[in-house]
Amino acid sequence: MSTDAPHGAEWGLQIEPPLRLADPERHTWDESADLVVVGLGGAGVAAALEGVEKGLKVIALDRYDGGGSSAANGGIYYAGGGTAIQREAGEQDSVEEMYKYLHIEVGGVVADQTLRNFCEESVATVDWMLGHGVKLNAKVWKEKTSYPPLDYFLYHPDSSLAAPYARRAKPAARGHRVFVSNGKKAWGLGFGIYEPLRDAALKRGLSFHKYAEVRQLALDAAGRVVGVKALQIPAGSPEAQRFGRYIAQAAKWIAALPPSFPLAWFTYAIGSWYLRRAQAIEAAHRQPRWFRAARGVVLSAGGFIMNPAMVRHYAEPYSSGLPNGTLGDNGSGLVLGASAGGKLDLMNRISAWRFINPPKAWAQGMMLNQRGERFVNETLYGASLGDAIVEKQNGKAWIVLDARLRKQAFEQAKDPKIVPFQRDVAMLNLLFNCRKAPTLDALADKIGFDRDALRSSVESYNSYARGEQPDPLEKRPDEMAQIGEGPYYAIDASIDSRLLPMATMTVGGLKVDEGSGVVLDAGDKAIPGLYAAGRNAVGICSNIYVSGLSYADCIYSGRRAVRHAAAMVSAGS
């Protein structure tokens, strides 16, 4: 892993060194505001709305149409402590139980007080979202699943039901799935949160500039960030209209299939074709514009998962995963922050998702490493499985089933309640990514397992399933099935599995002061006037991801930054 301050050119980014201004008042600014928000996704829209609500003048800049990965995701928002939706559903939860659970997952990447504050604000934040037109629903799904049936909207989006966690923190359904009229799919639903917040901000005076790529920060003589330079296609021009059409097509094709679907690479390729044409328009028609930020710049431009060279540089073991992001997740916001001296941290942390339930039969079987040894509780949330596979097993893993479990998996995959992409992925892998052998020794030889290791793993697992001894990985007997008579099957669940891709997203970013969101330098000193939020910052979800936690962290960190900036205004600073 490298944590050196980047320049970006080697990754296809064209971020310029900061402009140093002896007297910002003498510089020619095209527009001025109290705050300039760079990237209007989940964190950016939260910052913008918080700012205009507090009476600040806010300008938001986005290279595309806004929304980013937040608008394109599955529409899950992680919240607890007794939200209005939880109460309506009859779910018993408290701030303390939410904190106890997340404390396990967060793993110390933020201070305990920061995490507790996040949990304490959760109920009020949901009320704030509901008050601005976000629609949620209290129909609850209580079973373990990677994503709930499409007519359910509150569920367990984490490992809280798994025994190692349930004994330490009382489980509760904390995944709040947005309720939208066309929500009959499992991705592209995050707009149900983003658009109401965006519209509320615009109604209250937000100035939003589309097709504006920020390339440079401006600093005053004291080192305070006072503005940005953006390259923008003139608003309302024929070029802007053509660019918008190309970008819409690119985004449509890139989001046409969920990242875990095997043919997603094909739709990504079509989207990239449109993207190249949009970039040609940018190259020929953009003009530089300077935006003054009297009280601060908020970097909220997403992660870097869509920048393969950057992923290889910081997190090479994940480079064969399937990127889960949108066009803006190219790392530009991170490089902007680093250009002003901001410290990048946890850039090697990637959330990699290996979901194996549904079908439930897969999770009842065994997950083995390349030697044939079991290494993880198969009931854990997909990001925990992915982390165990990549970080501890060199990216290699296999799901081992017997004939009975494989038959059950086929039957479960046909259940009309499961999401279509879950069904399709399961069926495809059961048919075409399933190695078959008549005996365990033959399966070991075909996969490359150690014969003795495989036999020992199966014998031990069967004894746990029969309840003869406790599973060291704390999987309950009723969550297991004995691996009985052959034939036996092994599904390739590795990060580079051809038919079972592992979706990935970046969770590292700029190090910030956790009380304010101000970016810190290598010596942990604040860079005045520069804030980072969402996936431009290290945050709540920067250790192990659970569904909806990034969206929740975006809202939390975006509002945090603006609260600090507004307080500075009030203090006359």
pLDDT for 571 equals: 47
Q: Decide if 367 contacts 397 (C-beta within 8 A).
A: yes
| Residue burial 287-303, b: 16+ Cβ < 10 Å; e: rest | eebbbbbbbbbbbbbbb
DSSP state of 478: G
* C-alpha of 471 from chain center: 31
Comparing CA positions, the residue from 466, 316, 481 lying closest to residue 399 is 481
Rounded to an integer, what distance in angstroms lies between the CA atom of residue 124 and that of residue 401?
45
Has this prediction a pTM greater than 0.85? yes
Whether omega for the bond prior to residue 358 falls within 30 degrees of 0, making it cis, is yes
Q: Decide if 374 contacts 537 (C-beta within 8 A).
A: no
Rounded to an integer, what distance in angstroms lies between the CA atom of residue 560 and that of residue 565?
9
Rounded to an integer, what distance in angstroms lies between the CA atom of residue 396 and that of residue 389?
6
Residue type, 273: W
Query: Euclidean distance between the first and final Cα of the chain, in Å?
Result: 39
Comparing CA positions, the residue from 254, 232, 258, 253 lying closest to residue 243 is 232
159 CB contacts (<8 Å, ≥6 apart)? Answer: 105, 165, 379, 380, 381, 384, 546
Residue 68 φ/ψ, nearest 5 degrees: 55, -150
CATH fold of 355-492 reads Flavocytochrome C3; Chain A, domain 1 (3.90.700)
Q: Mind listing the pLDDT tens digit of every residue in the chain (573 residues)?
A: 334 456 789 999 999 999 999 999 999 999 999 999 999 999 999 999 999 999 999 999 999 999 999 988 999 999 999 999 999 999 999 999 999 999 999 999 999 999 999 999 999 999 999 999 999 999 999 999 999 999 999 999 999 999 999 999 999 999 999 998 766 677 789 999 999 999 999 999 999 999 999 999 999 999 999 999 999 999 999 999 999 999 999 888 877 766 556 677 788 789 889 989 999 999 999 999 999 999 999 999 999 999 999 999 999 999 999 888 988 999 999 999 999 999 999 999 999 999 999 999 999 999 999 999 999 999 999 999 999 999 999 999 999 999 999 999 999 999 998 888 889 899 999 999 999 999 999 999 999 999 999 999 999 999 999 999 999 999 999 999 999 989 999 999 999 998 898 999 999 999 999 999 999 999 999 999 999 999 999 999 999 999 999 999 999 999 999 999 999 755 444
User: Tokens for 72?
Assistant: 């394109």
95 CB contacts (<8 Å, ≥6 apart)? Answer: 80, 81, 82, 116, 119, 120, 122, 123
3-state secondary structure 7-42: CCHHHCCCCCCCEEECCHHHCCCCEEEEEEEECCCH
User: Tokens for 458?
Assistant: 């199966």
Neighbours of 413 (CB within 10 A): 21
Rounded to an integer, what distance in angstroms lies between the CA atom of residue 544 and that of residue 384?
7
pLDDT for 258 equals: 60
pLDDT for 2 equals: 37
Rounded to an integer, what distance in angstroms lies between the CA atom of residue 444 and that of residue 451?
5
Distances (CA, A) of 7 to 11, 68, 216, 227, 288: 9, 23, 12, 19, 20
pLDDT for 13 equals: 94
Bridge partners of residue 46, in order along the sequence = none
In the chain, DSSP finds a helix count (H) and a strand count (E) of 18, 21
3-state secondary structure of 59: strand
Q: In sequence order, which ranges of 367-515 are alpha helices (DSSP H)?
A: 382-392, 403-413, 420-432, 440-447, 451-465
Q: Where are the domains of the chain?
A: 9-73+190-233+287-352+505-570, 78-177, 236-285, 355-492
3-state secondary structure of 528: strand
Residue type, 230: A
Bridge partners of residue 434, in order along the sequence = 491
Neighbours of 329 (CB within 10 A): 26
DSSP state of 6: P
88 CB contacts (<8 Å, ≥6 apart)? Answer: 138
Rounded to an integer, what distance in angstroms lies between the CA atom of residue 525 and that of residue 293?
21
pLDDT for 572 equals: 45
Rounded to an integer, what distance in angstroms lies between the CA atom of residue 559 and that of residue 541?
16
245 CB contacts (<8 Å, ≥6 apart)? Answer: none
3-state secondary structure of 262: coil
Neighbours of 323 (CB within 10 A): 25
DSSP state of 398: E
pLDDT for 183 equals: 60
Neighbours of 405 (CB within 10 A): 24
pLDDT for 261 equals: 64
| CATH class of the 9-73+190-233+287-352+505-570 domain in this structure | alpha beta
Q: In sequence order, which ranges of 471-548 are alpha helices (DSSP H)?
A: none
